[in-house]
Structures are given as C-alpha cells and as structure tokens.
Amino acid sequence: MMEENIIKLTNALYKATSFFPKEEPLKFAIRKEGLDILFFINISRGKSVSSSMQEKEEAIKKVLSKIELIKTYFSIAKEQDWISPNNYLILEKNYNSLKDYLSSRVVVREEKKIVQKEVSLPIKKTKDINYEELSSVQLKVLEILQNKGQLKSIEICESFPNMNPRTIRRELKGLKDLKIVVSAGGGKTTIYEINKSY
C-alpha cells in the first residue's frame, strides 16, 4: 500500500471520528493509533535516517498490533452508534488490506532470515516461490517447515490452535498442488517438508 493511500486512510479515520462526542476519549485514542501507524509505516519504508532492517521489521510488527487496536476501538464506537455501519466496514476493509500486505512482508523477511541461518550444504535452487499467490496460513506453514524441517500435519496444526485442522490440511494440499511442499507416507503418519527444488 502506497504512502498516499495510508494518508487517505488516516484522513478517513479523522473524518469518521469527528462524529464522536466532543470530549470522547476514544476519539483521541483512535486518532493517536492512526498517527502512530503512519509514523511506523514511514520507518518500515526507510524514511527515517537510522532505520536498520531490524527496526523496519519491528515497525511493521507495531503497525500490525496498532491495526488490531484500532479495529477494536471502532467496534466499540459502532456499538455506541458513533460511526455508521457502512463507514465502519470501509475502514475495517482498508485496515485489513494494510494488515494483510504488511503480514506477508514480515513472513517473507523471516523466511529469508531462516534460510540465511542454515548451515547445511547449499541446495541448488531451481524454482522461485511466488509469495503473493500464497495465503497467510500457507506462508506461516512454510515458515514452520523451514524452522523444523519435516513435520506431520498434526504437528503443523499445533501452531494454529484457533483454526480447524481441516483448514490447515486444505492449505497444505494447496502447497502440495503448487509442488512447494512434498509429503511421504500416508494417513496420520504423513510427513511434510518443503520441496528441495525451492
């Protein structure tokens, strides 16, 4: 998401909160979080003079937590009828899009770090993964497999305690169909690992 879009989103947040009661503390809390998101986005994009890679990653993580907080604040405002359901949905959709975009950047960076830390013999890489076509769950599964090597589906499911195991198996099947992940064995003993061609 480009900086202009984030500025527009922050302006929309300001307009939506202008309908809150005059001295309502929630209005100022939401605006503060919106401005913090703008600030940390600038750090994550290297706009600060001393932004190291680690600081950029930390800034993205802060933005992700602040987005969740804003969404919680807006749900309270919606219940109080301070924001129209339509405006609420538009803001929520835009903040979710920003969250999805930044989440994929964090996972991809973490995967690159994991690959750099490996001390095993280099494997000849013949294919590139198109991360943009993968869901956030699939990206997390790849991160887990890169960390741990081979795992059973039940072990992968343990990393997603709030998700139905069927959903995880469906995401694994998607990775297998793309030939990014391979499996050996059958049933509950099936073991998954990242295809060595990637």
Structural domains of the chain sorted by starting position, each given as residue range(s) with its CATH number in brackets: 3-117 (1.20.1440.60), 131-194 (1.10.10.10)
One pLDDT digit (tens) per residue for the chain, 198 residues: 457 788 888 899 999 999 899 889 999 999 999 988 888 887 777 655 555 777 888 888 888 999 999 999 998 998 899 888 888 888 889 898 888 888 876 655 555 554 444 444 444 444 666 767 788 888 888 888 888 888 888 888 888 888 898 898 899 889 898 888 898 887 777 888 888 876
DSSP H helices in the chain: 3-17, 25-44, 53-79, 85-117, 136-148, 153-157, 165-177
Distance CA 102, CA 45 (A): 11
124 contacts: CB under 8 Å, gap ≥ 6? none
**Selection from 134, 179, 141, 176 nearest residue 157 by Cα:** 141
What per-residue confidence (pLDDT) applies to 112? 52
Distance CA 142, CA 120 (A): 18
pTM here is: 0.51
